């Protein structure tokens, strides 16, 4: 009993992360479709969605011995794995009921934290190769080389199964749930994270209406975007959004700071019939001696002939 408590304390100590357990479920837990996993939304002090947790109970068989794993998982609002907690009195064990060491608890967290793990590429039956030993019938298998670094010895199937749960269909379910929960407060909070993955999540999931409703937040992501984000966001935005004055004012102010490829995408999206005079002036100021696609597009927009 004391040992379980100690282990629980140790795990909590090792695994203190962003999502603190000081939450109050605001509504009934939502059942994720097509999974036996019940996702419970978590909220911050201002009652804005923070992430999700789920209790997972699953049998796992290491070689011939099966046992139950009980574990709590935590994800952020877009389904990225955050951390796990063991259930008090239910430590994680390896083969022969050997308990995880503190290092192994930490290693499991590292394995689960890797979205591009090699575990994604293998089927359960391929994890271990049968070794035939002389004189003895098919004994213990050997973990294949390619995944050795990504698993805990004696807990190969646990690592595999848990990784696949954490990064599996539940992610789609989380993303659907989050989408259904979107409101101004939540979107504002999400974009202020300045997290490119969150930004891409939003622009990939937004409907045309969403782009209009959340326009200021969307423009905020463009202002703070890296690499191709601005270009991709502009390409995702429906044409109607560009007729909105707020959009045009934004690009009047920020055209200069967009990279070349974002500028091109913007110029392709703008309609010469509907751009306002401030934006036109800004674009005119960006004409250069060098002829490029950008130049040609600007000339079309502001009504100069291209030769």
Partner 1 sequence: MKALMILLICLLSISPGMSKDKKAVFIQTESFDQKGGWFIDQQSMDVMGSPYLLAHGMGTPVDDAMTKVVFPEKGKYRVYVRTRNWTAQWSDVPAGRFQVLIDGKPLDKEFGVSTQEWSWIDGGTVDIKSGVAHVALRDLTGFNGRCDAIYFTAEKNDVPPNDPDQMDKLVEELTGKKRTVEEGEYDFVIIGGGMAGTCAAISAARLGVKVALIQNRPVLGGNNSSEVRVHLGARINLEPYPNLGNLVNEIGPDRGGNAQPKDYYEDDKKLKAVLAESNISLFLNTHANKVETKDGKITKVYAENIETGEIRGFSAPLFADCTGDGTIGFLAGAEYMTGRESRDRFNEPTAPLEADNLTMGISVQWFSEDAGYPVAFPDIEWGLPWNDEKAFAIKKGDWDWETGMGKDMITETEFIRDYGLLVVYSNWSYLKNDYSKKAEFANERLKWVAYVGGKRESRRLVGDYILTENELRNQEFLPDGTAPTSWTIDLHYPDPENLEKFDGEAFRSIAKHTKIYPYPIPFRCLYSKNVSNLMMGGRDISVSHVALGTVRLMRTGGMMGEVLGMAASVCKEFEITPREIYESHFADLEELMLKGVGDPDLPFTQTYNKGGTLLETVE
Given the rule CB under 8 A, which residues bind partner 1? 196, 200, 204, 226-229, 231-232, 259-261, 264, 289-296
Residue 157 and residue 60 in contact, taking contact as beta carbons nearer than 8 Å: yes
Q: How far is the CB of 118 from partner 1 (least distance, A)?
A: 12
- Shortest distance, position 91 Cβ to partner 1, whole Å: 35
Residue 19 CB, nearest approach to partner 1 (Å): 23
State the nearest-atom distance from the C-beta of 306 to partner 1, in Å: 9
CB nearer to partner 1: give 232 or 252.
232
Cβ nearer to partner 1, comparing 128 with 264: 264
Of 235 and 253, nearer to partner 1 (C-beta) is 235
Query: Is the C-alpha dihedral spanning 100, 102, 104, 105 positive or negative?
Result: positive
What is the nearest approach in angstroms of partner 1 to the Cβ of residue 200? 6
């Amino acid at each position: 009993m004391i040992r379980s408590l100690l282990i629980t304390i140790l795990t909590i100590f090792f695994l203190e992360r962003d999502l603190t357990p000081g939450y109050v479920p605001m509504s009934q837990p939502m059942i994720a479709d097509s999974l036996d996993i019940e996702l419970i939304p978590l909220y911050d002090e201002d009652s804005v969605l923070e992430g999700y947790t789920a209790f997972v109970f699953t049998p796992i068989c290491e070689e011939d011995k099966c046992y139950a794993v009980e574990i709590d998982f935590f994800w952020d609002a877009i389904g990225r794995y955050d951390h796990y907690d063991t259930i008090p009195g239910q430590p994680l064990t390896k083969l022969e009921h050997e308990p995880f060491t503190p290092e192994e608890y930490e290693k499991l967290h590292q394995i689960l934290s890797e979205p591009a793990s090699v575990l994604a590429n293998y089927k359960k039956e391929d994890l271990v190769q049968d070794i035939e030993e002389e004189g003895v019938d098919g004994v213990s298998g050997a973990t294949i080389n390619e995944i050795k670094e990504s698993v805990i010895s004696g807990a190969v199937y646990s690592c595999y199964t848990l990784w696949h749960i954490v990064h599996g269909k539940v992610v789609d379910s989380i993303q659907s749930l989050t989408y259904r929960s979107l409101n101004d407060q939540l979107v504002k909070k999400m974009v202020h994270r300045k997290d490119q993955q969150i930004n891409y999540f939003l622009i990939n999931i937004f409907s045309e209406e969403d782009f209009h409703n959340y326009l200021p937040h969307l423009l905020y992501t463009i202002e703070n975007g890296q690499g191709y984000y601005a270009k991709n966001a502009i390409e995702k935005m429906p044409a109607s959004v560009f007729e909105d004055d707020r959009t045009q004012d934004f690009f009047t102010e920020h055209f200069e700071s967009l990279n070349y490829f974002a500028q091109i995408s913007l110029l392709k999206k703008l309609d010469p019939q509907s751009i306002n005079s401030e934006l036109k002036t800004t674009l005119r100021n960006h004409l250069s001696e060098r002829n490029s696609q950008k130049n040609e597009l600007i000339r079309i927009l502001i009504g100069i002939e291209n030769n």
